[in-house]
């Protein structure tokens, strides 16, 4: 009888929590394992980002190298262009240059003594030269008889002239030129001014 009572008390003690609770242990194990499961995707994402960064670095380095190569090629092309920029106009002027050299040699050798022959040769060379310059866009600035304009002219002197309005271009000392639509040299001119009135005699009217 006494033994049965003791066994019953032991069972009650076990039921009061002295034995491990399997449900609680399982929940605790799951709780302890959850952070490990959450860390795995984070590690994968970090590795993925590092891989993307390396790819971007590689792409950037390739682009920088390509740009440097392009810059070197462009600089070389520009340098070469500037070096030979006058080639086209020089080629066009070569026939005129040849004529000038031939005329000079002919005069020096005494082969050309007639003035008319020299005159004809000079005019021919001059016309060829003018034609080439005009073809390249050279145009004379026409200012004679027009009002002085600081955009196209430089005034060297003002000359009183009663026959024209003040600030009229009387004479072109050095011609000015356009190259296409750009002024490359202003015309140097003489400009009219008002004729000063004669000084009145102080004794007049006395």
Other beta carbons within 10 Å of 176: 20
Residue 118 lies in a domain: no
Residue 179 lies in a domain: yes
Residue 165 covered by a domain: yes
Domain assignment present for residue 149? The answer is yes
What pLDDT, on a 0 to 100 scale, did the predictor assign at position 169?
98
129 within some domain:
no
CATH of the domain at 190: 2.30.22.10
Per-residue model confidence (pLDDT) at position 112: 77
pLDDT of residue 2: 46
| pLDDT for 45 | 84
Residue 155, domain extent: 138-194
Asked whether residue 21 is domain-assigned, the answer is no
pLDDT at residue number 46: 86
Instruction: State the 10-residue block means of pLDDT for the chain, 206 residues long.
Output: 50 50 52 52 80 92 94 94 91 94 89 86 94 95 96 97 95 97 97 86 54
């Amino acid at each position: 009888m006494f033994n049965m009572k003791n066994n019953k008390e032991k069972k009650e003690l076990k039921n009061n929590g002295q034995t491990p609770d399997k449900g609680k242990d399982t929940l605790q194990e799951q709780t302890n394992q959850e952070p490990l499961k959450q860390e795995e995707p984070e590690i994968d994402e970090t590795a993925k980002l590092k891989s993307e960064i390396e790819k971007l670095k590689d792409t950037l380095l390739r682009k920088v190298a390509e740009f440097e190569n392009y810059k070197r090629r462009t600089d070389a092309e520009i340098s070469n262009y500037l070096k030979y920029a006058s080639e086209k106009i020089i080629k066009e002027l070569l026939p005129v240059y040849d004529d000038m050299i031939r005329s000079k040699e002919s005069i020096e050798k005494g082969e050309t003594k007639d003035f008319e022959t020299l005159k004809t040769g000079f005019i021919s060379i001059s016309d060829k030269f003018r034609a080439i310059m005009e073809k390249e866009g050279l145009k004379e600035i026409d200012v004679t008889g027009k009002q002085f304009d600081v955009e196209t002219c430089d005034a060297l002197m003002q000359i009183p002239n009663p026959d024209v309005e003040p600030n009229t271009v009387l004479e072109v000392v050095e011609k000015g030129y356009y190259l296409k639509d750009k002024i490359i040299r202003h015309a140097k001119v003489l400009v009219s001014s008002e004729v000063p009135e004669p000084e009145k005699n102080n004794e007049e009217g006395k």
